[in-house]
Structure 1
Amino acid sequence: MNGFRRPSWWALLLTVAGALLFTRLGIWQLHRADFKESLLRRYAAAVTAPLQDFAAVAAKPPADSFPRVQVRGHYLVDRLYLLDNPRHDERGGVEVFAPLQIGDQQHLLLVDLGFLPGNGNGKMPPLPPLSAEEVDLHGLYVPPPPTGFEMGGDALARQTRWPKDSIYLAPAQVSRDLGRPLYPRVLALDADAASVYVRRHTLDLTMPPSRHRAYAFQWFSFALAAVVILLVLHRKRGPRRP
């Protein structure tokens, strides 16, 4: 390395530590991308999996898997919730959720009835009536919709009429609003050609695999930049011309 000056020990230590840290973070992001892809594959396979009894997984669903269950109960037809920020429709619309009473259980099961498309005029479409009789349901037992920061706090507590709508549907807020505990997951009903609801079984990930890979590339770039900066700063310069 005749063209470079010997770096000081602290500069070399700082560069090596930074490059190792950035490389480690990049590898971690690649592992997260692989995990998310595996999760998506398991979710897609669960759509056609055999049905199992809801009681077996109700309180403690298996981690990182999505049981396809069957359950019997009756809807609380006057306690509907509307999620008005679904991402898969450009004309507007709402995702409709209804609490389900299962026998004499204290816990309620929040059922995702599906997406009700809008008509593009910004008005909420009319909700189809639900039967108050006992119904047999089957679908995927999935995590609740992701939540985020909501301006003004709990939007459900400020509303006095039903159905209630919100841009986020936090299970804790729904439980507090109903005055009843909820099961830890949501039942996403199987697709039904006769239903007016659109039911697309897609796992809503906060960060998809592609974004993890983009972050990995960013961290690897930082590691390379740290080495390049060290070399540039310690490159020997020729004598200045008069």
Structure 2
Amino acid sequence: MLGRRWITPSWLAIALLLMAVPTFITLGFWQLQRAHEKELLLAAFAGNAGAQAIPLEVARQQVKGEVFPRVEVSGRFDLQHGYVLDNQVRGGRLGVLVFAVFEPADGSLPVLVNRGFLATAADGSRAPIPTVEAGQRILHGLYAPPPGVGMRMGGNALARQTQWPKLTVHIDLAEIGADLGRGLDSRVLLLDADAESGFEREWTPQIIPPERHLGYAFQWFCFALAALVIFIVLHWRRARSESN
């Protein structure tokens, strides 16, 4: 029976192994760190829902990165303009998210307000969108980045629509600002839950969940192991017979 012997690898093979394995392992640990960060973020998001509200103008100056403070702002709704984000899913149900434009009393940039989720019935029908109330109001909610835009197809559909509220498949604050003819805050306001509003408001950050980061980490560690196994298999070969 022929045994096996170690075949001296080339310098190129060694160099590739030394680059690949540490890189894959580093990426794996980085994904584990990202998973931990997202867990902390989700916990902070949930905790802020019941936190003391701070003025919107203060949050605008302080907030950086993935932070979701609960804010308070006084002002009026724009009664003429609104937007409906289509093809949204909550709890396995299809529906829409309804957005309104809110004008702070201090004259600062308007903020787009996420009023909440409305489910679509099995026959495709949907309850009428509750109208916004006129007059001075004080809003409370989470100050958060807008929903991710994702894949863009078909260009800007807002400019082609004449009926309000306008329907969209993504929330692009630059496009909405251009559609309104004025600037908008770079974040949106996720209104506090209100059973009498007619909307469902169960907010979660629009982020990659921790579970997916753990999956990515597992993949990177598998790549590192696979690279090491392939290297060994290629260089630990059967010894050739004398006749060969």
Q: Tell me which interval the TM-score lies in, with the shorter structure as reference length.
A: over 0.9
Give the equivalent residue in structure 2 for 1:228: 229
TM-superposition CA deviations, 1:89-117 (whole Å, max 9, x none): 54432100000111251511111111112
TM-score, length of structure 1 as denominator length: 0.92
More strand by share: 2
TM-superposition CA deviations, 1:151-183 (whole Å, max 9, x none): 111121121111101110111111111111111
**Structure 2, unaligned stretches of length 5 or more?**
none
Give the equivalent residue in structure 1 for 2:6: 4
TM-superposition CA deviations, 1:18-50 (whole Å, max 9, x none): 111111111111111111111111101101111
Cα distance in 2 between the residues matched to 1:195 and 1:93: 16
Residue 81 of structure 1 aligns to a residue whose secondary structure is strand
Residue 157 of structure 1 aligns to a residue whose secondary structure is helix
Give the equivalent residue in structure 2 for 1:188: 190
Verify the 8 A CA contact 1:92 1:122 in the aligned structure 2. Answer: no
Cα distance in 1 between the residues matched to 2:162 and 2:6: 73
Verify the 8 A CA contact 1:93 1:125 in the aligned structure 2. Answer: no
What does residue range 20-39 of structure 1 map to in structure 2 within 5 Å? Answer: 20-39=22-41
Verify the 8 A CA contact 1:54 1:69 in the aligned structure 2. Answer: yes
Bigger CA drift: 144-153 or 170-179?
144-153
Distance 1:76 1:59, change over 3 A: farther
1:151 matched to 2:153? The reply is yes
What does residue range 57-206 of structure 1 map to in structure 2 within 5 Å? Answer: 57-103=59-105, 105-205=107-207
Cα distance in 1 between the residues matched to 2:108 and 2:190: 21
Cα distance in 2 between the residues matched to 1:75 and 1:83: 18
Verify the 8 A CA contact 1:59 1:184 in the aligned structure 2. Answer: no
Verify the 8 A CA contact 1:77 1:130 in the aligned structure 2. Answer: yes
**Structure 1, unaligned stretches of length 5 or more?**
none
TM-superposition CA deviations, 1:132-165 (whole Å, max 9, x none): 2111111111111111222111121121111101
Residue 32 of structure 1 aligns to a residue whose secondary structure is helix
Residue 236 of structure 1 aligns to a residue whose secondary structure is strand
Residue 205 of structure 2 aligns to a residue whose secondary structure is coil
Cα distance in 1 between the residues matched to 2:149 and 2:220: 27
Distance 1:181 1:160, change over 3 A: same
Verify the 8 A CA contact 2:6 2:237 in the aligned structure 1. Answer: yes
Letter in 2 for 1:208: P
Verify the 8 A CA contact 2:118 2:126 in the aligned structure 1. Answer: no
Verify the 8 A CA contact 2:99 2:113 in the aligned structure 1. Answer: yes
Cα distance in 1 between the residues matched to 2:153 and 2:16: 42
Cα distance in 1 between the residues matched to 2:7 and 2:30: 34
Letter in 1 for 2:67: S
Residue 224 of structure 1 aligns to a residue whose secondary structure is helix
TM-score, length of structure 2 as denominator length: 0.92
Letter in 2 for 1:101: E
TM-superposition CA deviations, 1:57-88 (whole Å, max 9, x none): 13552433211111111111220100112221
Deviation at 1:3, TM superposition (A): 3.2
Q: What stretches of structure 1 move > 4 A for 4+ residues in a row?
A: none
Letter in 2 for 1:222: F
Bigger CA drift: 88-97 or 137-146?
88-97
The Cα RMSD (Å) is: 1.8
Letter in 1 for 2:78: L
Deviation at 1:123, TM superposition (A): 3.1
Give the count of matched residue pairs: 240
Distance 1:91 1:217, change over 3 A: closer
Distance 1:177 1:124, change over 3 A: farther
